[in-house]
Chain A
Amino acid sequence: MRFIDEYRDAKLAQRYARRIAQIVTRPWTIMEICGGQTHAIIKFGIDELLPKEITLVHGPGCPVCVTPVELIDKAIEIASRPEVIFCSFGDMLRVPGSEKDLLSVKAQGGDVRIVYSPLDALKLARENPDREVVFFAVGFETTAPANAMAVHQAFRQNIKNFSLLVSHVLVPPAIEAILSSPKNRVQGFLAAGHVCTVMGYTEYEPIAKKYKVPIVVTGFEPLDILQGVYMCVKQLEEGRYEVENQYTRSVRREGNTKAQELIREVFCVVPRKWRGIGEIPRSGLGLTEKYKEFDAELKFGLTDRSVEESSECLAGLVLQGVKKPHECPAFGTRCTPEHPLGAPMVSSEGACAAYYRYRRGHG
Chain B
Amino acid sequence: MADEFTLSCPIPISQYPQILLAHGGGGKLMHQLIEKIFGAAFANDYLDERHDGAVLDLTPRPPTSPPAPPRHGEGSSPFPFREGGWGVRSGVGGEVRVAFTTDSYVVRPLFFPGGDIGKLAVYGTVNDLAMCGARPLFLSAGFILEEGLPMETLWKIVQSMRAAAQQAHVQIVTGDTKVVDKGKGDGIFINTAGIGIIEHDLAISPKSVRPGDLILLNGDVGRHGIAIMAVREGLSFESAIESDCAPLAEVVLKLIEAGIEMHCLRDLTRGGLASALNEIAQTAQVHITIDESAVPVREDVQGACEILGLDPLYVANEGRFIAFVAPQDAERALEILRTFSSEATLIGQVLAEPRGLVTLTSRIGAQRILDMLSGEQLPRIC
Residues of A within 8 A of B (CB): 1, 4, 8-10, 13-14, 36, 42-46, 48-49, 63-64, 69, 72, 89-101, 103-104, 106-108, 114, 116, 138-140, 142-143, 177, 181-183, 194, 222, 275-281, 308-317, 319-320, 335, 337-343, 347-349, 356-362
Give the chain B neighbours of A63 by CB distance below 8 A.
381-382
- B380, A4: Cβ atoms closer than 8 Å: no
User: Is B76 an interface position by the 8 A CB rule?
Assistant: no
Residues of B with C-beta under 8 A to A316: 5-9
Kindly report which residue of chain B lies nearest to residue A13, judged by CB atoms: B364
Tell me whether B380 and A44 are in contact (CB under 8 A): no
Q: Which residues of B contact A319 (CB under 8 A)?
A: 5
Cβ contact of B9, chosen from A14, A93, A311, cutoff 8 A = A311
Known: A104-B16, A106-B20. A194 touches B382 (CB 8 A): yes
Q: Which 6 A-B pairs have the closest CB atoms?
A: A45-B366, A90-B378, A90-B379, A13-B364, A358-B368, A309-B8
Give the most central of B6, B28, B308, B381: most A CB within 10 Å.
B381
Inter-chain contact B382/A142, CB cutoff 8 Å: yes
- Which residues of B are interface residues toward A (Cβ below 8 A)? 1-14, 16-22, 28-29, 32, 233, 293, 299, 302-303, 306, 308, 354, 357, 359, 362-369, 371, 374-375, 378-382
Q: B382, A97: Cβ atoms under 8 Å? A: no
A107 touches B7 (CB 8 A): no
Chain A hits for B382, CB < 8 A = 36, 63, 139-140, 142-143, 194
User: Given A139-B382, A315-B7, 5 other A-B contacts at CB below 8 A?
Assistant: A104-B17, A107-B19, A139-B381, A276-B8, A278-B2
CB <8 Å contact, A317 and B20: no
Q: Which of B13, B306, B364 lies in contact with A100, CB distance below 8 A?
A: B13
Contacts of A143 in B (CB 8 A): 381-382
Chain A proximity of B355: nearest CB distance (Å): 11
Task: State the Cβ distance, B314 to closest chain A Cβ, in Å.
Answer: 11
- Residue of B4, B293, B359, B378 contacting most chain A CB atoms (<10 Å): B378
B368–A42 contact, CB under 8 A?
yes
Which chain B positions have C-beta within 8 A of A276? 5, 7-9
Question: Within the assembled complex, what's the spacing in Å between the Cα atoms of A106 and B382?
Answer: 23
B381 to chain A: which residues have CB within 8 Å?
A: 63-64, 89-92, 138-139, 143, 349
Q: Please state if B363 and A317 are interface contacts (CB–CB under 8 Å).
A: no
Complex CA gap A315/B379 in Å reads 23
CB contacts (< 8 Å) of A181 on chain B: these are 3-5
| Complex Cα–Cα for A14 and B364 (A) | 8
Q: Is the CB of B374 within 8 A of A337?
A: yes
Report the nearest B residue to A9, measured CB to CB. B364
CB contact between B363 and one of A44, A309, A338, A348 (< 8 Å): that residue: A44
Residue of B nearest to A334 (CB): B12
Total A-B pairs in contact (CB under 8 Å)? Answer: 199
Whether A339 pairs with B14 at a CB distance below 8 angstroms is yes
CB distance from B229 to the nearest CB of A (A): 11
Instruction: Select which of A91, A312, A320 is within 8 A of B5 by beta carbon.
Output: A320
Closest to A142 in B: B382
Whether B379 contacts A44 by the Cβ 8 Å rule is no
CA distance A67 to B382 in the complex (A): 15
* Pair A356/B366 contact, Cβ less than 8 Å: no
Chain B residue contacts of A339, Cβ below 8 A: 12-14
* Contact across chains for A278 and B366 when beta carbons are under 8 A apart: no
Contact check, A342 vs B10: say whether CB atoms are below 8 A apart. yes
Determine how close the nearest CB of chain B comes to the CB of A337; give it in whole angstroms. Answer: 5
Residue contact B378 to A183, C-beta cutoff 8 Å = no
Q: Which of A44, A72, A100, A311 contacts B7 (CB 8 A)?
A: A311
* Interface pair B374/A310, CB less than 8 Å apart: no
Residues in A with CB closer than 8 Å to B363 are: 8, 10, 44, 222
Contact B9 A107 (CB under 8 A): no
A1 touching B302 by the CB < 8 A rule?
A: yes
Smallest Cβ-Cβ distance to B359: which chain A residue: A362
A116 to B362, CA, bound (A): 28
With A309-B10, A338-B29 in contact, is A91–B379 under 8 Å at CB? yes
29 pairs, A vs B, C-beta closer than 8 Å: A1-B299, A44-B368, A46-B364, A69-B8, A90-B378, A91-B379, A103-B375, A104-B20, A107-B18, A107-B20, A139-B381, A276-B5, A276-B8, A278-B8, A280-B1, A311-B8, A311-B9, A313-B9, A315-B9, A316-B9, A317-B7, A340-B13, A343-B9, A347-B380, A358-B369, A358-B371, A361-B369, A362-B359, A362-B368
Chain B nearest Cβ from A307, distance in angstroms: 9
A94 to B375, Cβ gap below 8 A?
Answer: yes
Residue of A9, A104, A360 touching B369 (CB-CB under 8 A): A360
Q: Tell me the bound Cα distance from A69 to B7 in angstroms.
A: 13
- Complex Cα spacing A8 to B382, Å: 19
> Cα distance A340–B374 when bound, in Å?
11
What are the residues of chain B within 8 A of A10 when measuring CB–CB? 293, 363-365
Evaluate contact between B233 and A116: CB separation under 8 angstroms: yes
Q: Enumerate chain B residues within 8 angstroms of A222, measured Cβ to Cβ.
A: 363-364
- Could you tell me if B366 and A310 are in contact, using CB atoms closer than 8 angstroms? no
Contact residues in A for B369 (Cβ distance below 8 Å): 357-362
Contacts of A116 in B (CB 8 A): 233, 308, 379
CB-CB < 8 A to B354: which residues of A? 361
Tell me whether B1 and A69 are in contact (CB under 8 A).
Answer: no
Q: How far is the CB of A340 from chain B (nearest CB, A)?
A: 6
B64 CB, nearest partner CB in chain A, Å? 51
For B9, the chain A residues whose CB sits under 8 A away are 276, 309-313, 315-316, 341-343
User: What residues on B are CB-neighbors of A320 within 8 Å?
Assistant: 5
- A49 contacts across to B, CB distance below 8 A: 364-366
- The smallest beta-carbon distance between A254 and chain B, in angstroms, is 21
Tell me the nearest residue of chain B to A346, going by C-beta.
B10
User: Is B13 within 8 A of A101, CB to CB?
Assistant: yes
In the complex the two chains form, what is the Cα distance from A338 to B362 in whole Å? 25
Complex alpha-carbon distance, A208 and B151, angstroms: 68
Q: Are A91 and B7 in contact (CB under 8 A)?
A: no
Complex interface: chain B residues within 8 A of A13 (CB): 364-365
**B367–A45 touching, CB < 8 Å:** yes
- Nearest residue in B to A2 (C-beta to C-beta)? B299
User: Is B380 touching A89 in the complex (CB atoms < 8 A)?
Assistant: yes
Please tell me if the beta carbons of B1 and A279 are within 8 angstroms of each other in the complex.
yes
B362 touches A4 (CB 8 A): no
Bound CA span A315–B11, Å: 12
Instruction: Evaluate contact between B371 and A44: CB separation under 8 angstroms.
Output: no
Bound-complex Cα distance A188 to B1 (A): 22
Are B1 and A310 in contact (CB-based, < 8 A)? no
Chain A residues contacting B7 (CB-CB under 8 Å) are: 276, 311, 313-317
Contacts of B16 in A (CB 8 A): 103-104, 107
Question: Shortest distance in angstroms between A272's beta carbon and chain B's nearest beta carbon?
Answer: 11
**What's the least CB distance linking A113 to chain B, in Å?**
12
